[in-house]
Amino acid sequence: MAIIRHEFEKSEGLHKEMHLHDTVEKPPEIDHFSNIEEFLASWSHKMHRSELESVCDLFKPSSHILDIGAGMGNTSLYFASRGHTVTVVEPSYSLCTAIDRLATRFNLAITVHQCSMEQFTSEETFDICLFNASFHHCDEPFKALQNCNSVLRPGGLLYLVNEQVLKFYRSKKWYEKVRETSPEKVCDYGGNEHMYRIHEYRSMIRKTGFRVVNEKVPEYYFHPKNMITTSIQINDDFTKGTGKEVYSDLNILIRFIFYMTLKRLVTIPMTCFFLKKLSLIGITFIAEKK
């Protein structure tokens, strides 16, 4: 299928992110996968996948999904393989070509637009607009959400999934400084990232014409082993060739104990309320177009 390319404005940060993908990201080696299920089983970020699977279970059958900032297309392929109609918005042309190649290989009909969500318009309407760990890459988050609202059908749903949060005891000034001096500590790969607190996500959603219908505790909090596996993978990804260490063995042990404790805490309503209030946990936001 042809990639639909749009002319769109690019900030300095987005230029940098796109250049990074064009020069570093490589198309996945897919020829040795005999089917889509084998490919999806290789999805490395098990923590993110567990939440996507639980979210997909909430979708109505045969939904029309706009997958925004789809990266290598794992989410798009997953949704399409489950019977949904999928349209992609992704700024990086190299990632768009990877998604198109994967969709062709596995005979999945996925429409791909090379564009940012801030610049995307469509005469089509969608049942769902979904960001999977991609909303915090938007330079103009309000504009991105407004455009989501404009392409959703009445009663359509917005999902913000696997987004990072800025904890209450950290400032944005601290975050920007660490991004510059030690990006591996905040898992910044140079991809035009921003950071928000839970109440900021909530405010942006409401101010752009949505009604929050659910603040779902992500599935991965109930699977500490997946969380620690992801931490180890992040450590490996960021230390490769740098000589730096994101998480020491002791730090990983402490994180595992913390994740085991958190698994219990998020099941207690009052405790969970304060964890959200202090931006100490991530939340999957589900909002409905008013």
List pLDDT tens digits, range 45-68: 777 888 999 999 999 999 999 999
Per the prediction, the chain carries an average pLDDT of 90
User: Residue 161 and residue 279: Cα distance in Å, rounded?
Assistant: 15
The pTM is what?
0.92
pLDDT in tens, 91-150: 999 999 999 999 999 999 999 999 999 999 999 999 999 999 999 999 999 999 999 999
- Supply 280's token pair: 């100490």
Contact assessment for residue 157 and residue 287, using Cβ atoms and an 8 Å cutoff: yes
| Domain extents in the chain | 4-218+282-289
Please give the pLDDT value at position 143.
Answer: 97
User: Residue 43 and residue 49: Cα distance in Å, rounded?
Assistant: 7
Look at 24-28, 122-126, 151-155 and tell me which has the smallest mean pLDDT.
24-28
User: Residue 114 and residue 210: Cα distance in Å, rounded?
Assistant: 26
Helix (H, G, I), strand (E, B) or coil at 236: helix
Eight-class DSSP state of 59? S
Contact assessment for residue 154 and residue 90, using Cβ atoms and an 8 Å cutoff: no
Q: How many residues does the chain have?
A: 290
Q: Is 41 exposed, middle or buried (0-12, 13-18, 19+ CB in 10 A)?
A: exposed
Dihedral sign from CA coordinates of 145, 148, 150, 153: negative
Q: What is 4-218+282-289's CATH number? A: 3.40.50.150
Dihedral sign from CA coordinates of 157, 271, 199, 192: negative
- Supply 261's token pair: 């404790």
